[in-house]
Amino acid sequence: MRSPMRVLLCATALATAAAGCTGTPERVRPTAAVTVPASVDPPVVVLDPGHNGRNAENRAAIERQVPDGRGGMKACNTTGTATDAGYPEHAFTFDVATRVAQRLAAAGIRAVLTRADDDGVGPCVDERGNAGAAADADAVVSIHADGAAPEASGFHVALSDPPLHPAQEAPARALGVAVRDAMRAAGFPDADYIGRDGLDLRADLAGLNHATRPTVLVECANMRHPEEAALVSSPEGRDRYAAAIAAGIHAFLAAR
């Protein structure tokens, strides 16, 4: 059974993901959602900020081969991409995930991050994929940004396909559609270079393949596109992405 209701903000290593942690964020305005009553267990959402700050310095560690969830192997992790000005994806994803976690916590939802800061290595993609089960999560959202050609723009939400677990079927699709619709409502355009209708069906993403909880990966923007690079590099832009992702999670949880 989950811990008694408290407003929780967790940024823990996966080894302690199920243990819980406390800390009420200050000056956080709740999103438009019904706060969970104190008499029920809070929903649990795992947020997976892509990559990590010291991956580039530890190539041997991140190039180690791990199961890809479909019978093959792939690298533990990668360095991620960056804007042409040098703002890195790993910093973007951690900042956005932290902002999403604050919003969820303010509404009484327990948020668990797959990494505690932006100054480490990994975790590997298979461990990230198993994070939802480790935390007994109701939903898992992996947060990324793309590094496509400069003329490409927009966001997309990736889903594991063909599904390998029941959670990757209708539950993951419902989460993906909820996040996509919230991104659209926030004014972000669908990707014009990948996927269809803002969704991208993928068999090559280990974090999705290993999932046994509803899990999606959102590529928020193309960091090589000049306008989107400016947006992801600004605190105001990152807050817009965080607000949209949090709204999508709220919509998914409310519809269950």
Bridge partners (DSSP) of residue 144 are 219
One-letter amino acid of 207: G
Cis geometry, peptide bond prior to residue 67 (ω within 30 degrees of 0): no
Residue 81, SS3?
Answer: coil
Return the DSSP state at 55. Answer: G
**Tokens representing residue 23 in the block:** 């800390």
What positions carry a catalytic annotation? 219
Q: How far is CA 146 from the centre of its chain?
A: 13
Element (H, E) at 110: strand 110-113
**Tokens representing residue 1 in the block:** 């059974």
Contact 201, 155 (CB under 8 A): no
Q: How far apart are alpha carbons 81 and 247 in whole angstroms?
A: 26
A 10 A CB-CB count for 51 gives: 26
